[in-house]
Amino acid sequence: MESLSITSITVMYLLYTLFIYLDSRNCHKWILNRMVPFIVSLGGIFSDYLTTRMGLVLGYYETHALYSPLSALLIFWGTTSLLAVILPKRDLWDVGITSLAFASYLGAVNNILVILGIFSGLII
């Protein structure tokens, strides 16, 4: 039992040292800034999925037969990852990548406008 407590104290000390090191280098801010576009696009795709489900319950139908929130997530996260690797690491480009992530909300906006009767949707 004593070895377990010594081991846990050692692990806690190492984690604390790592946290202090990362905090001194502002690495947690860098990681958080890199995650923002992924979180934003996840929110947009989730809201699109919810409004699509609301429309289906109200009697509307999905015009895209192969619609899947997982494929939308894969597309947005893949594009975000690709742009984050290719583009230079500057504030302007980071804002551009985050702005692109906000495009995932367009589907939810479209669904809300159709449900409210402001937009007729696609006529096929």
What's the confidence (pLDDT) of residue 30? 65
The per-residue pLDDT for 113 is 92
Predicted confidence band at 10 (pLDDT cuts at 50, 70, 90)?
low
How many angstroms separate the Cα of 70 from the Cα of each of 60, 75, 109, 111? 21, 9, 19, 18
Q: Read off the pLDDT band of 15 (50, 70, 90).
A: low
Nearest CA to 45 among 122, 119, 109, 124? Answer: 109
Torsion of CA 96, 100, 103, 104, to 10 degrees: -140
The full set of domain ranges for the chain reads 27-116
- Residue 56: partners with Cβ closer than 8 Å, 6 or more residues away: 62
What's the confidence (pLDDT) of residue 64? 83
> Encoding tokens for residue 122?
């696609």
Average predicted confidence (pLDDT) for the chain: 78
Per-residue pLDDT tens over the stretch 20-41: 666 656 666 666 667 888 888 8
pTM: 0.69
Among candidate residues 80, 79, 76, 59, the one with its CA nearest the CA of residue 68 = 76
pLDDT for 22 equals: 60
How far is the C-alpha of 94 from the C-alpha of 110, rounded, in Å? Answer: 26
